[in-house]
Amino acid sequence: MTDVIGKTYRPDTYAVGREKIREFASAVGETNALHFDLDAARDAGYPDLVAPPMFAVVYSLRAVGPAIFDPEVGINFAMMVHAGQEFEWGPVVVAGDEITTRASVKDISERREMTFYVFETVSENQRGERVCTGTWTQFVREPS
């Protein structure tokens, strides 16, 4: 199982659209005009609508999925619990950006009767700027 630590997966590119930003912002209860109103975003100095920070889940999920579901990683999904996500953000993501995300297995470790699986995503825009680094943690309670 630990021989997959450091394994990287095929990158995924996501084209960020205005309506997806609006839909996501609305779904999570955002009210900031930068996410809805093109004129407000441009008046604030952005070229287009600004994605809320947690929009990172939208553009990075397709990249981390193959890592989590990789049979070599060996997660027992019947016993899996999503333990958390952490993000470090860089420049804001705006409509029109193309975000490429690469995922890897960062760590697999055992503590007590649980196995922790940690995955990392690194997302860059079309200019090569790192817009987000994500850490995705799952744990599996081993049957006794």
Per residue in 19-35, pLDDT tens?
999 999 999 999 999 99
| pLDDT score recorded for residue 2 | 63
Q: Which residue, 103, 91, 90, 88, is CA-closest to 12? A: 103
Q: Which residue, 43, 55, 45, 62, is CA-closest to 89? A: 55
Cβ–Cβ under 8 Å, residues 142 and 113: yes
Decide yes or no: CATH 3.40.640.10 for domain 2-16+52-141: no
Cβ–Cβ under 8 Å, residues 49 and 34: yes
Outline where 5-142 has alpha helix (H). Answer: 18-27, 38-43, 56-68
Q: pLDDT tens, 72-131? A: 999 999 999 999 999 999 999 999 999 999 999 999 999 888 999 999 999 999 999 999
Cβ–Cβ under 8 Å, residues 122 and 102: yes
- Domains of the chain, residue spans: 2-16+52-141
Tell whether the model's pLDDT for residue 1 goes beyond 60: no
How much is the pTM? 0.92
Cα 96 to Cα 92: distance, rounded to the nearest angstrom: 12
